[in-house]
Structure 1
Amino acid sequence: MGYRRRTIDDALDGLFPHLAAIAIEGAKGVGKTATAAQRVTTVLDLSRGPLQETIAADPDQITAESPPVLIDEWQLVAPVWDAVKRAVDRDSAGAQFLLAGSASADPKARLHSGAGRIVSLPMRPLSMAERGLATPTVSLAELLTGSRPAIGGSSSLTLSNYTDEILASGFPGIRDLPELARETQLDSHLARIVQRDLPEAGVMVRKPRALTAWLAAYGAATATTTTYTSILDAATADEEVKASRATLDAYREHLTRLFILDPVPAWTPAFNPLKRLTKSDKHHLVDPALAAHLVGVGKRGLLHGDGQRVNGATGTWLGALFESLAAQSVRVYADAARAQVGHLRTEEDHREIDLIVEGRDRSVVAIEIKLAATITAKDVRHLNWLDDTLGDRLADKVIVTTGERAYRRPDGVAVIPLALLGP
């Protein structure tokens, strides 16, 4: 199969001709290498032992290669980061280096942050728009303008189709496999995180089963703000000798650096009348397929309402996974619009909005995510409250659904099937 263009390609089209070095960062398997390889003359794959050793001995030899140069898995030879910085200091002409990394840069292993020399772009698994199942009719970037555009279009995708997409994964190398092979690959992916990726990042995993249990508990907390204490309790409920909180906190930090955990931070708005907002992240793994696989509920069970959630969270497990799928896609589109994504919850839990997309001009698109195909007045009450509270700063208010038709309600809320929302 030929290369399928990704949302990040638009950013690379605009930036790489003018910037000397760009780091594409994301979890293993999201497609960083395939995307970067479209734009380079030379590929240096540092996951290859012999090349890794020679580059480690002399990182500055990267400048002897014909540009543009892709340095793949650069974090395995951390001094490469500073070698690129030195090269850019000498020559800042565009299109010299692309760095693909499946771990964020460890400040302890480099001399320079990269600021002003190396621009970082995040890359996540395939969004719904990138999966090619439908042609989006609504642009998140246009919603952020505040023009309240007309909303229309229809999608043939049903709840069953969205469930398939949750389980199929957004990892390009996994999603098109037959079910048994896909399940085996997801098993292998999770095992590699524990057995290889964390040790490569310098983390000694003394109790692999305890870490896997913690990951499963974290997955069961998808789309909640459950405390880490509750997640730890769920992970160790049957253990007489529990892993320490400090140990699991260290694992959590490194799993975030490896882009396996991808929580949505609490929105902390400036210059607005909102008060007493919670500061807890909303939990998400990088791909909802990982959460579904860890919890072990298949399509039939999901559609029948099966799946235990951590700490008595309300709503169905399928609803939590659909929210995670939608959040993953919205964050891809927000990155393309150079916008930030958070979530809103008041301390008393009286008000909650699943996603807040904030543009560079502080305009806001508020998004609720509903598994239902039809929307009632109860579903939009928090969106309309925020509209009354923020006034003109609220560019648009949206409910993402599993329905077939996109439209705008009389109260101004845009109702958009997930498959019809795009960058």
Structure 2
Amino acid sequence: MRELAEGRCRGLHARLGLGAQRSQAFPGVCGHAPTLGTAADIPGRDRDRADDCRLREDERAEHRHHERRADSVRAETRSSDLSVKGRKLATDCLLNWRLIVSQTDDSLSIDLTTGVRLASHYFPRIVDEELDAALSRAGAVLIEGPKASGKTATAKRRANSVVHIDTDPAVSAQMAVDPSLVLEGEAPRLLDEWQLQPRLWDAVRREVDERSRRGQFILTGSTAPASSARRHSGAGRFARLRMRTMTLAESADGNAAVSLRRLLSGEAPRHGAAPLGFDGLLTRMAVGGWPSAVGLPVKDALASNRDYVDTVIDVDIDSAGRSRDPLRVRRLMQALARSTGTEVSISTLARDEATLSRDAVREYMDALSRIFVIEDQPAWSAHLRSSATLRKEPKRHFCDPSVAVALLGADATALRRDLSFTGQLFESQVVHDLRVLAQPLGGEVYHARDSAGREVDAVIQLPDGHWAGFEVKLGAAAETVDAAAASLREFAANVDGTRADSPVLTVITGTGPSYQRADGVNVVALPSLGM
């Protein structure tokens, strides 16, 4: 927990461009006190909206001391015109007392001496800018993803009015009279968990047509409705976004020192040791990227993940069409957990869960996919120079690697004892983060394995036809990286590239520095990777 907290603090400093120094006045978890620079020192994306920050402390003398410190931060914040994100990152590192960050509708209260987050706070997400862009081009935006991934919190920050379809008692009566009544409210209007009233889809479509204006509605959903619920596609009216749990960079467990965007453009990575050590990485994979878990004691976060799994099995999966046997669902999910990050087949899963036929396994898997608990990594399709063919079986992943950990009753200690499984889990974490980071670029994440045994753990395919290959290695030893780089070069040499003869090749490691090798293959530690 200490290493994870220290890593988050270093990540916050680095993301805002702050210096890190020991401070006798703030001997908290890591002892880092932020040193704010001038406006030119702060990243441009963090110079938007700024409000104020204030401190609360019971002891008067200590309060006066910290108030002076807060005044300094506040002055720098206003003069530099920091965004909410920048202000949060600046203040998050003031240690050893309870810090309150005032915002439009959120507050953060955190005691970094214990590492406990005492109140809810919005963590800026990569999808924020995607949502802004979507609202500027479409009449309505659909955000889908697993429960507790932060969809509602993200949407609320852009919405001017909100209706919670799952809890508002007036919704059912309004729908019975006229669905358009639910749409009344200042735009953008958020319809949270809209799929519980499927008729809203067509109502929104018609209203968008009538208004002929962009940015009118945001729809969030944690269950993909049946195809019959969407009689009209919404083409030209709806923009669609997929939201996942947080990447290491988003949860401040990483420092985003290496940009995937620049990496894919050919820029060589250059960064020292990763901000998160091996044990911290294992803890982060066990805890997961759930916004509500950030700052929780590890024991509580693991218990929360087990509660999440229980809810999926006992309640949520039934929202995808019909009731299912919870014991069979659990056994199937545990079989998936043991095979996370692999190409385990439906037949193998049916053998592991002996009471389900292959057709039943497919149906259960479809239900888990519809509630966004699992997300397969499809096989890549490309022309090869040799006679070898690419396999078509997808790799299996949960929406967050922590789900697999919870299903198996594991924790960071158990992961350290079984490094083979931890390697699978780390690959799943890498694929998760690559998906989030590639989405704003229009990239899709695949995997590739040919009939001759050559493989790439992850392939990012960009809209212009260019692609990038990634090998995933939990360790960062020289011999491990050498073997991974050789495998990447061998695979790339066999791809018949018509538009991208020189793909970007990268080995993703769990720890260590980020750099470019003499052979042109990049090496990047996952905790250093960002947008």
Q: Note whether the superposition's TM-score is higher than 0.5.
A: yes
Matched, 1:249 2:362: yes
Matched, 1:98 2:218: yes
Tell me the distance in 2 between the aligned counterparts of 1:253 and 1:318. Answer: 26
The equivalent of 1:214 in structure 2 is 332
Q: Aligned to 1:388, which of 480, 493, 499? A: 493
Moved over 4 A (4+): none
Specify the SS of the correspondent of 1:355: strand
Specify the SS of the correspondent of 2:394: coil
**Measured at CA, do residues 297 and 4 of structure 1 come closer, stay the same or move farther in structure 2, by a change above 3 Å?**
closer
Tell me the distance in 2 between the aligned counterparts of 1:64 and 1:183. Answer: 41
Which letter does structure 1 place at the counterpart of 2:454?
Answer: R
Matched, 1:115 2:218: no
Matched length: 405
Q: Conserved in 2, the CA contact under 8 Å of 1:18 and 1:93?
A: no
Q: Conserved in 2, the CA contact under 8 Å of 1:211 and 1:248?
A: no
1:70 Cα offset (Å): 0.4
The equivalent of 2:468 in structure 1 is 365
**Measured at CA, do residues 81 and 233 of structure 1 come closer, stay the same or move farther in structure 2, by a change above 3 Å?**
same
1:65 Cα offset (Å): 1.6
Q: Aligned to 1:408, which of 476, 498, 516? A: 516
Q: Aligned to 1:23, which of 114, 117, 142? A: 142
Q: Conserved in 2, the CA contact under 8 Å of 1:153 and 1:420?
A: no
Matched, 1:47 2:166: yes
Which letter does structure 2 place at the counterpart of 1:259?
Answer: F
1:201 Cα offset (Å): 2.7
Matched, 1:327 2:327: no
Matched, 1:338 2:442: yes
Counterpart mapping for 1:154-169 below 5 A: 154-169=273-288
**Measured at CA, do residues 167 and 337 of structure 1 come closer, stay the same or move farther in structure 2, by a change above 3 Å?**
same
The equivalent of 2:400 in structure 1 is 287
Tell me the distance in 1 between the aligned counterparts of 2:171 and 2:322. Answer: 20
Specify the SS of the correspondent of 1:293: helix
Q: Structure 1 unaligned runs (5+)?
A: 237-241, 307-315
1:174 Cα offset (Å): 2.7
Q: Aligned to 2:526, which of 402, 414, 418? A: 418
Tell me the distance in 2 between the aligned counterparts of 1:347 and 1:400. Answer: 24
Tell me the distance in 2 between the aligned counterparts of 1:375 and 1:196. Answer: 47
Q: Conserved in 2, the CA contact under 8 Å of 1:148 and 1:395?
A: no
Tell me the distance in 1 between the aligned counterparts of 2:367 and 2:174. Answer: 25
Tell me the distance in 1 between the aligned counterparts of 2:295 and 2:357. Answer: 39
**Measured at CA, do residues 419 and 399 of structure 1 come closer, stay the same or move farther in structure 2, by a change above 3 Å?**
same
Counterpart mapping for 1:49-64 below 5 A: 50-57=169-176, 58-64=178-184
Tell me the distance in 1 between the aligned counterparts of 2:348 and 2:502. Answer: 34
Which letter does structure 2 place at the counterpart of 1:248?
Answer: V
Matched, 1:6 2:125: yes
Aligned-pair Cα RMSD in Å: 1.8
Superimposed CA distance per residue, residues 215-262 of structure 1 (whole angstroms, 9 cap, x where no aligned partner): 0101111011011111222233xxxxx133333321111111111111
Tell me the distance in 1 between the aligned counterparts of 2:469 and 2:385. Answer: 16
Superimposed CA distance per residue, residues 300-351 of structure 1 (whole angstroms, 9 cap, x where no aligned partner): 2211227xxxxxxxxx001011111111111000102111110001124x11
**Measured at CA, do residues 378 and 259 of structure 1 come closer, stay the same or move farther in structure 2, by a change above 3 Å?**
same
Tell me the distance in 2 between the aligned counterparts of 1:243 and 1:49. Answer: 38
Q: Conserved in 2, the CA contact under 8 Å of 1:151 and 1:414?
A: no
1:177 Cα offset (Å): 2.2
Tell me the distance in 2 between the aligned counterparts of 1:51 and 1:171. Answer: 30
Larger RCO, structures 1/2 (Cα 8 Å, 6+ apart): 1
Tell me the distance in 1 between the aligned counterparts of 2:137 and 2:298. Answer: 43
1:287 Cα offset (Å): 0.7
**Measured at CA, do residues 413 and 33 of structure 1 come closer, stay the same or move farther in structure 2, by a change above 3 Å?**
same
1:171 Cα offset (Å): 1.1
**Measured at CA, do residues 157 and 59 of structure 1 come closer, stay the same or move farther in structure 2, by a change above 3 Å?**
same
Q: Aligned to 1:143, which of 263, 269, 279? A: 263
1:183 Cα offset (Å): 2.8
| TM-score after normalising by structure 2 | 0.73
Specify the SS of the correspondent of 1:393: coil
Q: Conserved in 1, the CA contact under 8 Å of 2:509 and 2:523?
A: yes
**Measured at CA, do residues 150 and 216 of structure 1 come closer, stay the same or move farther in structure 2, by a change above 3 Å?**
closer
Q: Structure 2 unaligned runs (5+)?
A: 1-107, 109-120
Q: Aligned to 2:409, which of 293, 296, 308? A: 296
Identity of aligned residues (%): 30
Rg: which structure is higher? 2
Tell me the distance in 2 between the aligned counterparts of 1:406 and 1:135. Answer: 12
Which letter does structure 2 place at the counterpart of 1:200?
Answer: S
